[in-house]
Chains A and B, each alone.
Chain A
Amino acid sequence: MAAACTLALLGALVPLRDAPAPITAAQPGPVVRAHYATAHDDSQKCTQPERSLNPDSGTDTGAAIARIRKYGKLRVGVDQNSYLWGFRDPATGDFAGFDIDLVKAIAKDILGDENAVQYLTVPTADRIPDIKAGTVDMVVRTMTINCDRIKDVAFSTAYFTAGQQILTSDNSSITGFDDSLKGKTVCTATGSTGDDKLNEGSHGATVMRVANQLDCLVQLQLGLADAVFTDNALGAGQAAQDPTAHLVGTTVTEEPYGVAMNLADTDLVRRVNRVLNTYRADGSWQRSYHNWLEDVLPGIQPPAPLYK
């Protein structure tokens, strides 16, 4: 009850437009909750790509920090389209979301002003090239840490753990990424992790591929798709925009999100890891999680940092 009160209070205080219908105990009928797969399936060569630089193992005020301070603004690659994570509120035109809260904390630490940020919208495909080219200092954009990417960019410690999960309508018989998908149409974004998983085996479902994960929600609402297979973080954003849609079953993969930076900016990586430690410890992470995600992705704790 206390939690519910806190939630209600927060809901009233946080300027979140059109707060999603809370899927709480009041929800009738059995709602299958998200459960996280605990098993790791790291590849042989690269185990635990989420291990990052320890802030205490070297300086966190070097060339990169000096460069940012000289420029006066932190240049961050973000998404404008991920509801709850990084999106532009159409009514105010301002950026908001879980990723954006983290960006502000980093900017405040480095530059002393949480608004000293130049937000640059980067398409998914441009995230790594932009970091390598130095057009952005970092990318905070629901970016999964994996073995392929750590060859090109440096990641902070994980700040969230997501996984591929099924999103469907309330009245659907689909129970998760399992045989209940047989004969159904599942929508996913072309080239996404969900697309790869469906190619490995779709449990008898027909796969519909669209350009953008959000297009799947349109297809679901129009009744052209029966379910959406996407990252539960993005799925949560979709569920928050449609009170009759929710995540079902368990996550099929485990995808830690990290802040991506240039491999050469070791001081910046340590700096961000230090900010993250404080962010997790002083309740900032929990506040942001409350504001944006808890309603649709309940029961998640900040992942513990892992260092090299």
Chain B
Amino acid sequence: MTHTPTGNAGSPDVRRGAGVPVPRGGVPVPPPGGPGPGRRRAWVESAARMRAAATTEPGRLRIIGAGLALLVVAFGAVTAWQVNDRSTAADNVVKHSAPLSATAAEIYRSLADADATVTGGFLVGGLQPKTVSDRYEDDITNASTLIAQAAANSEGSPQAHAQIAALNQQLPKYVELVTAAQTNNRQGLPVGGAYLRYANTQMRKPGGLLSAADKLYQIETDRLGSDYTRAKALPYVSWAVGAVALGALLWAQRRHYRRTNRVFNHGMLAASAASAVVLLWLVAGHTLARNQLEHSDAHGARSMQVLNTARIGVLQARGDENLTLVARGSGDAYEKNFTDGMTSLAGPDPKGVGGVLAQALQLADDSAGSDPVNAAVKSVQTWRGRHTAERKSDKAGDYTTAVAEVIGGKDSSGKDVKDTTGNCFDAVDASLQQAVTQEQKEFKSAADNGRDALAMLPYGAAALAVLAAAGALLGIGRRLSEYR
């Protein structure tokens, strides 16, 4: 079956190749007794060959075939590479940065909890109750374990390492100070209270334990943020190469149609279909992943961050409330800290909602998330009311009642106080814990979905690209065979 190629007829170069079948090897042979006697240089020769190839239809077909195959394979490779990068980042979110950020938050919380617990124990006359010493021990053990964990998992981040070193160095010192405070307190020596206040200062001062834990948390959260950004970055290169590959396939098929009047070239059709599938999969998969990651980010980084801030605020307020009584008359600074802490936690109005808790309410997107926060808000309001009553008792010289109103026990008239600020504190802490667990759950499932949406895409893109390249080559090959 022969045919006359259309187009390019007016080109002067066509003369030489037109109608002359090219040998099987596909390399056009220069006409015998070719140009002048001078020896040609190699590059001139190969340039001439290329030119010759481009001037014959089989040559052009070969170039088109090679170009299409290359484009399709490039599309597959770029997609696999770009998606793999995003998929790795999404995997990092789930497996590394989010857990590390949670670990840092937990270190922070354990330390603040230890401080609040130990100050509360000081208000109990004589020996500390077992529940208090157990909770303190748990906090310290938990913090040291998590610090070791963070150290093992944060290789390659010098900033994180500096904070972990600070934590490692300061925690034993803090424990020593608390031990000295407790020993002196047991012996009835007021210097015990001074040690406790000093320990608290070491915990809270700039560069102290809480500030190191906070910085570590910020570093890990920033890392989480950058993993999110990497995972959500749009794969522009991949899109562009995909569009070009598809366009080239369409152009080749249109050319084919115009020259042969045959509508379909099966190979090229398959190549187009495979490329289109990859492009669709890429757009749909990554958009889905982005949405899920966006959702997990809202819960992971932002909501949990706010809730963690609230929890730390609650613990510090509790520590301040206890220390006001431990300081026995010189606790005005702690009382001021309490008021300031409560203001940033729940707003200036003791009966209203504001501050960090209001932010947490805004970020909670369903009742499962907002119910525990609402419960925490209510408990904080009760707490502030009871705290005011407790300060009044202390100011009126009724220290015994004030202590009973904070930690429970008998007031000065021998009545058992049940409605303590301690109950409120426990309730707030439990509600916020519940809220964090809820957000953590949502974060986890959304982040998992986001990661899974990308999981198969790199392999699929690679396989389909190979398929598409094969299709394109076969399609072109079929046309070429017509010239033999």
The CA of A212 and the CA of B333, in the complex, are separated in Å by: 12
Please indicate the chain B residues that have their CB under 8 angstroms from the CB of A122 in the complex.
Answer: 329
Q: Are B195 and A218 in contact (CB under 8 A)?
A: yes
Specify the chain B residue showing the minimal Cβ separation from A95.
B399
The CA of A241 and the CA of B187, in the complex, are separated in Å by: 9
Smallest distance from the beta carbon of B354 to chain A beta carbons, Å?
Answer: 30
Q: Which residues of A contact B (CB under 8 A)?
A: 17-18, 75, 79-83, 87-93, 118-124, 211-212, 214-215, 217-218, 221, 237-238, 241-242
The CA of A214 and the CA of B396, in the complex, are separated in Å by: 25
Known: A88-B328, A88-B399, A92-B125. A212 touches B185 (CB 8 A): no
Q: Are B125 and A90 in contact (CB under 8 A)?
A: yes
Q: A90-B126, A91-B188 are in contact. List 7 more A-B contacts (CB 8 A).
A: A18-B188, A81-B328, A88-B328, A119-B399, A120-B397, A217-B191, A241-B189
Smallest distance from the beta carbon of B453 to chain A beta carbons, Å?
Answer: 57
Please indicate the chain A residues that have their CB under 8 angstroms from the CB of B333 in the complex.
Answer: 211
Contact residues, B361-415 vs A (CB, 8 A): 394-397, 399-400, 403
Instruction: Offer 9 A-B interface pairs, CB within 8 angstroms, sorted by A.
Output: A18-B187, A82-B190, A92-B125, A120-B396, A123-B329, A214-B190, A215-B198, A221-B180, A221-B191
Q: Are B396 and A118 in contact (CB under 8 A)?
A: yes
Please indicate the chain A residues that have their CB under 8 angstroms from the CB of B185 in the complex.
Answer: 90
Specify the chain B residue showing the minimal Cβ separation from A92.
B125
Q: Are A241 and B191 in contact (CB under 8 A)?
A: yes
B471 located at the interface, meaning its Cβ lies under 8 Å from any Cβ of chain A in the complex: no
Q: Are B184 and A121 in contact (CB under 8 A)?
A: no
B120 located at the interface, meaning its Cβ lies under 8 Å from any Cβ of chain A in the complex: no
Q: Which residues of B contact A (CB under 8 A)?
A: 122, 125-126, 180, 184-195, 197-198, 327-330, 332-333, 394-397, 399-400, 403
Consensus secondary structure, chain B interface: helix
Q: Are B332 and A123 in contact (CB under 8 A)?
A: yes
Q: Are A89 and B188 in contact (CB under 8 A)?
A: yes
**How many pairs of A and B residues are in contact by the CB < 8 Å rule?**
84
Please indicate the chain B residues that have their CB under 8 angstroms from the CB of A91 in the complex.
Answer: 125-126, 188
Please indicate the chain B residues that have their CB under 8 angstroms from the CB of A87 in the complex.
Answer: 190
Q: Are A17 and B187 in contact (CB under 8 A)?
A: yes
Q: Are B190 and A118 in contact (CB under 8 A)?
A: no
Consensus secondary structure, chain A interface: mixed
Please indicate the chain A residues that have their CB under 8 angstroms from the CB of B399 in the complex.
Answer: 80, 88, 93, 119, 121
Q: Are A215 and B194 in contact (CB under 8 A)?
A: yes
Please indicate the chain B residues that have their CB under 8 angstroms from the CB of A118 in the complex.
Answer: 396-397
Specify the chain A residue showing the minimal Cβ separation from B333.
A211
Smallest distance from the beta carbon of B30 to chain A beta carbons, Å?
Answer: 95
Please indicate the chain A residues that have their CB under 8 angstroms from the CB of B395 in the complex.
Answer: 120
Choice from B190, B327, B396, B397 contacting A83 with Cβ under 8 Å: B190
Smallest distance from the beta carbon of B268 to chain A beta carbons, Å?
Answer: 83
Q: Are B188 and A212 in contact (CB under 8 A)?
A: no
The CA of A214 and the CA of B397, in the complex, are separated in Å by: 22
Known: A215-B198, A218-B198. A121 touches B190 (CB 8 A): no
Specify the chain B residue showing the minimal Cβ separation from A238.
B191
The CA of A126 and the CA of B359, in the complex, are separated in Å by: 39
Q: Are A121 and B329 in contact (CB under 8 A)?
A: yes
Please indicate the chain A residues that have their CB under 8 angstroms from the CB of B197 in the complex.
Answer: 212, 215
The CA of A3 and the CA of B466, in the complex, are separated in Å by: 106
Please indicate the chain B residues that have their CB under 8 angstroms from the CB of A17 in the complex.
Answer: 187-188
Q: Are A81 and B198 in contact (CB under 8 A)?
A: no
Specify the chain A residue showing the minimal Cβ separation from B395.
A120
Please indicate the chain B residues that have their CB under 8 angstroms from the CB of A242 in the complex.
Answer: 191
Specify the chain A residue showing the minimal Cβ separation from B126.
A91
The CA of A301 and the CA of B47, in the complex, are separated in Å by: 119
Q: Are B397 and A121 in contact (CB under 8 A)?
A: yes
The CA of A118 and the CA of B122, in the complex, are separated in Å by: 23
The CA of A145 and the CA of B194, in the complex, are separated in Å by: 27
The CA of A221 and the CA of B198, in the complex, are separated in Å by: 12
Q: Are A79 and B329 in contact (CB under 8 A)?
A: yes
Smallest distance from the beta carbon of A70 to chain B beta carbons, Å?
Answer: 18
Q: Are A241 and B397 in contact (CB under 8 A)?
A: no
Specify the chain A residue showing the minimal Cβ separation from B184.
A241
Please indicate the chain A residues that have their CB under 8 angstroms from the CB of B195 in the complex.
Answer: 218
The CA of A120 and the CA of B332, in the complex, are separated in Å by: 14
Specify the chain B residue showing the minimal Cβ separation from A120.
B397
Choice from A75, A80, A218 contacting B329 with Cβ under 8 Å: A80
Minimum-distance CB pairs A-B, first 3: A121-B329, A80-B328, A17-B188
Smallest distance from the beta carbon of A267 to chain B beta carbons, Å?
Answer: 23
Smallest distance from the beta carbon of A27 to chain B beta carbons, Å?
Answer: 20
The CA of A237 and the CA of B191, in the complex, are separated in Å by: 10
The CA of A90 and the CA of B180, in the complex, are separated in Å by: 15
The CA of A91 and the CA of B332, in the complex, are separated in Å by: 24
The CA of A119 and the CA of B193, in the complex, are separated in Å by: 20
Q: Are A121 and B198 in contact (CB under 8 A)?
A: no
Q: Are B396 and A90 in contact (CB under 8 A)?
A: no
Please indicate the chain B residues that have their CB under 8 angstroms from the CB of A92 in the complex.
Answer: 125
Smallest distance from the beta carbon of A84 to chain B beta carbons, Å?
Answer: 10
The CA of A211 and the CA of B329, in the complex, are separated in Å by: 13
Specify the chain A residue showing the minimal Cβ separation from B176.
A222
The CA of A90 and the CA of B191, in the complex, are separated in Å by: 11
The CA of A221 and the CA of B179, in the complex, are separated in Å by: 13
Specify the chain B residue showing the minimal Cβ separation from A78.
B329
Known: A17-B187, A91-B188. A217 touches B194 (CB 8 A): yes
Specify the chain B residue showing the minimal Cβ separation from A82.
B190
Q: Are A90 and B329 in contact (CB under 8 A)?
A: no
Q: Are A241 and B190 in contact (CB under 8 A)?
A: yes
Q: Are B189 and A18 in contact (CB under 8 A)?
A: yes
The CA of A250 and the CA of B194, in the complex, are separated in Å by: 27
The CA of A83 and the CA of B333, in the complex, are separated in Å by: 21
The CA of A83 and the CA of B191, in the complex, are separated in Å by: 9
Please indicate the chain B residues that have their CB under 8 angstroms from the CB of A212 in the complex.
Answer: 194, 197, 330
The CA of A262 and the CA of B300, in the complex, are separated in Å by: 61
Smallest distance from the beta carbon of B155 to chain A beta carbons, Å?
Answer: 35
The CA of A214 and the CA of B184, in the complex, are separated in Å by: 13
Known: A123-B332, A215-B197. A90 touches B192 (CB 8 A): yes
Specify the chain A residue showing the minimal Cβ separation from B398.
A118
The CA of A242 and the CA of B184, in the complex, are separated in Å by: 10
Please indicate the chain A residues that have their CB under 8 angstroms from the CB of B396 in the complex.
Answer: 118, 120
